[in-house]
């Protein structure tokens, strides 16, 4: 055991400089020093390997297909009857998603599922996993979530925006589709499009304000929408933090554009978006 003020223990048998913060890939590699060779990453740890940050880095999640117990701070070792399809380091994306579906909130699962689909980590919706592995924890919940996924989403914030809008009872928008003028000329691609009411819902990240070229492109695109009689509704991270207010403001704009359907409802279905999935 290495005992010195200059060093700290990451995991048993693994040390680093006391003031060094390990990047996620090195943290995962350090954890493997305490695991058998057949352990594979799963849950949010597998997402990290694939390039998506979800929640805290620790505890790191691994799985083995046998009865093995491990007690190491910062590491959770899951046990399963049969290992799902896996690669050299982790389980397949569908299996990681199913594992997360057992405990995560609906809105987080929609965000994760969209990201996995749009980045080609999942080629089919996770509902396809259940028929062959109905006993696997999270399989039933994944099937429920699958109906709400859309691989055309280009950002996690787009997915989050779509989820709060739909679960409040507003119409489901088209995702990242062309908006063209009467001659068929492309005016722009809308994040979320209400074609019937000629309204585009756009998520504006910080890069839209900080990148001068992106800012100029946005101005030109919005001018193009207005030129053909379309309007747009801007969503920011601050507005997403107040989802009810966001939905109500969008509903007001839809009504102004001619929408006469149901108003938003913040009842049981809305509440289910922010809770783990029940079956």
Domains and CATH numbers, the chain: 7-146 (no CATH), 156-272 (3.40.960)
How many Å apart are CA 55 and CA 40, to the nearest integer? 19
pLDDT tens per residue, range 77-133: 999 988 988 999 999 999 999 999 999 999 999 999 999 999 999 876 555 544 455
**Do residues 162 and 175 make contact, with C-beta atoms less than 8 angstroms apart?**
yes
How many Å apart are CA 197 and CA 256, to the nearest integer? 9
Neighbours of 226 (CB within 10 A): 12
**Do residues 247 and 165 make contact, with C-beta atoms less than 8 angstroms apart?**
yes
Taking each helix axis from N to C end, the angle separating 93-101 and 106-118, rounded to the nearest 10 degrees, works out to: 170
3-state secondary structure of 190: strand
pTM of the model: 0.90
Query: What pLDDT shows up at residue 70?
Result: 84
Q: What is the mean pLDDT of the chain?
A: 90
């Amino acid at each position: 055991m290495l005992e010195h003020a200059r060093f700290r223990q990451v995991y048993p048998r693994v040390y680093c400089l006391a003031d060094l913060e390990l990047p996620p890939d090195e943290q995962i590699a350090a954890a493997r020093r305490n695991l058998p060779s057949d352990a594979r990453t799963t849950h949010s740890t597998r997402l990290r390997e694939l390039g998506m940050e979800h929640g805290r880095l620790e505890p790191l999640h691994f799985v083995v297909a046998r009865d093995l117990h491990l007690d190491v701070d910062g590491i959770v070792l899951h046990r399963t009857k049969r290992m799902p399809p896996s690669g050299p380091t982790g389980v397949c994306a569908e299996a990681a998603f199913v594992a997360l579906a057992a405990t995560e909130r609906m809105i987080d699962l929609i965000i994760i599922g969209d990201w996995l689909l749009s980045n080609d980590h999942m080629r089919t919706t996770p509902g396809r996993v259940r028929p062959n592995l109905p006993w696997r924890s999270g399989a039933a919940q994944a099937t429920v979530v699958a109906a709400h996924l859309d691989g055309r989403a280009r950002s996690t914030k787009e997915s989050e925006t779509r989820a709060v809008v739909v679960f409040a009872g507003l119409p489901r928008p088209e995702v990242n589709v062309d908006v063209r003028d009467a001659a068929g000329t492309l005016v722009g691609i809308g994040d979320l499009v209400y074609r019937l009411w000629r309204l585009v819902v756009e998520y504006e990240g910080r890069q839209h304000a900080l990148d001068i070229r992106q800012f100029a492109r946005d101005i030109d695109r919005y001018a193009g929408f207005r030129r053909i009689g379309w309007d747009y509704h801007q969503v920011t991270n601050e507005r997403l933090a107040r989802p009810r207010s966001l939905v109500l403001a969008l509903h007001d704009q839809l009504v102004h554009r001619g929408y006469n359907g149901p108003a938003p409802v913040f009842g049981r279905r809305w509440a289910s978006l922010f809770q783990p999935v029940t079956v």
